[in-house]
Amino acid sequence: MRIEWKICLTFLLFAIAFRYSESQNKTQTENSSQIPIHKTEYPSAQIDDYPQLEPNVSQKDIALQEFARDMSKKELSYAESWIPNSSKTTAGNSTHWLMDCSNTARYTYQEIFQRQIPRTSLDQYLFAKNQSLFYPIVWETEKELTRKILLRKLKAGDLLFWKNTTNVQANPPISHVMIYLGRDNSDKMFMFGASTSARSQATQKSGGIGIYPFDPYAKIGCVKDSFGVCTIYSEFVGWARLQLE
């Protein structure tokens, strides 16, 4: 009897442990379904839901915003070789464009502002700085104050520059550029250009030309060591105003 009692007790404890484990697994599964499959610090704005930008802007600003929408819908990948439709470009040619961040900015300036700017983000930065058209960011103690200052100073078409988004052999290590588009009625800032970050969960594409929220504090890349580990994170450094000169 004592042996049978021990066997029954063992089976009872085993059953209780099994039910508890099953319950825990179910809870973890339910919780994990609430975790986003993909998360990026540099998400793309949904083109169809793109909010109306601030009112009372110039016709050139509106043209820039429409251009950004149209280019975004082409779903070009980052650094994709692309031939514009010559009948729709002011340049009137069919030259291949490698649509990385700096060439996307260059193509936009050519089409919207009829201006030629240098090829790389570093050269664009140096070009602006040499003409005293670069404005470095001043980081305030409070993030919200920094944002308010940017909202007041930035204009549609300004070039936005970052350093240390990737490994580059340059001094300063300017490595990324985007174009400021403006803000919406809730003061959320937007930019346009080519990014290597995820475009959206809908397309699951890695990077591309699109309209993105602009957050000066976002880390959008880094410098990596030989093991692929980030050692220095990206930093927004300021903006240039070439479109009005």
C-alpha distances (whole Å) from 32 to each of 22, 23, 27, 128 are 15, 14, 9, 48
pLDDT at 7: 54
Q: Is the pTM of this model over 0.85?
A: no
pLDDT at 156: 95
pLDDT at 196: 86
pLDDT at 88: 52
Contact 102, 119 (CB under 8 A): yes
Query: Can you tell me the mean pLDDT for 138-143?
Result: 93
State the pLDDT confidence band at 20, using cuts at 50, 70 and 90: very low
**pLDDT single digits (tens) 187-227:** 999 999 999 875 443 344 557 999 999 999 999 999 999 99
State the pLDDT confidence band at 3, using cuts at 50, 70 and 90: low
Strands (E), the chain: 80-82, 97-99, 134-136, 159-163, 174-183, 189-198, 206-213, 222-224, 230-233, 235-240
pLDDT at 243: 80
**pLDDT single digits (tens) 47-106:** 444 455 655 578 888 999 999 999 999 989 999 999 987 545 555 556 789 999 999 999
Give the torsion sign (CA, 116, 129, 63, 208): positive
Answer whether residue 140 shows pLDDT above 50.
Answer: yes
CB-based contacts of 125: which residues, under 8 Å, 6+ apart?
134, 161, 172, 174, 177, 240
Residue 137, φ and ψ in degrees, nearest 5: -70, 140
**pLDDT single digits (tens) 24-47:** 443 333 332 222 222 234 444 444
Query: Can you tell me the mean pLDDT for 164-193?
Result: 94
